Amino acid sequence: MKCDPMARIKGKDDKMKKVAIYPGSFDPITYGHIDIIERALEIFDNVIVAIANNSEKKALFTVEERLEMVKSIFKDTPNVIVDSFKGLLVNYVAKTNAIVILRGLRATSDFEYEFHMASMNRSLNTHLDTLFMMTSKDYFFVSSRTIKEVASLGGAVEGLVPNLVVRRLKEKFKLPITKKKQIGWDD
Ligand code: ADP
């Protein structure tokens, strides 16, 4: 049975809920992303993690794999809804009751791209705002790209991504997974 991930936030008091959409590639999800989601939950009732299904961007993990990882990480957090979308973000946002787009900022280098995207989205939908959250000091250097680079070369990424992601990266790059970790991971 195909279930509607939005069903959880479509309730009687629908309009009262403050919902944010956190779009991105999440290829793969890192503790930097998770930190932003957890902090956003202090402000919003629901956060929709919206995984972009963008065929133009070459990804390491398929959308299904990314969905599975993020869903598994937030399986005990019902106010995080995990979904994927194709095409224009503003069109996807319109199908939800989200009031803002949430994005993270790590460095001034993120700013220019984010500023252009936020301005473009606002020009496509004048009611739509983007909220930026600063990265935490522990994760300002963490990006999916560097995680993939380091992991592909056999470097340790434990502590920067959840154990489930460490395992998936090792599987992708055909790196050995120690027995202890195979049986002992609490993800
Ligand atoms: P995209 O391809 O859309 O940039 P990403 O998955 O790379 O997707 O990032 C999604 C969002 O999360 C972006 O706003 C990005 O700046 C933010 N982000 C990524 N890593 C971190 C981090 N370590 N700390 C804070 N924000 C982050």
Residue 6 predicted with pLDDT over 80:
no
100-119 tens-digit pLDDT: 999 999 988 889 999 999 99
Residue 38 near ligand 1, beta carbon < 6 Å? no
47 CB contacts (<8 Å, ≥6 apart)?
19, 20, 21, 22, 37, 40, 41, 79, 80, 81, 102
pLDDT of res. 44: 97
Residue 142 near ligand 1, beta carbon < 6 Å? yes
16-32 tens-digit pLDDT: 899 999 999 999 999 99
Atom of ligand 1 nearest to the CA of 136: 24
pLDDT of res. 100: 96
C-alpha 13 to ligand 1 mean position (Å)? 31
The pTM score is 0.89
Top pLDDT among 169 and 180 is at 169
Residue 28 near ligand 1, beta carbon < 6 Å? no
pLDDT of res. 187: 45
- CA-proximal residue: ligand 1, atom 1 (nearest): 24
pLDDT of res. 184: 40
As a whole number of angstroms, the distance between CA 24 and CA 28 comes to 10
Residue 151 predicted with pLDDT over 60:
yes
Q: Is 24 helix (H, G, I), strand (E, B) or coil?
A: strand
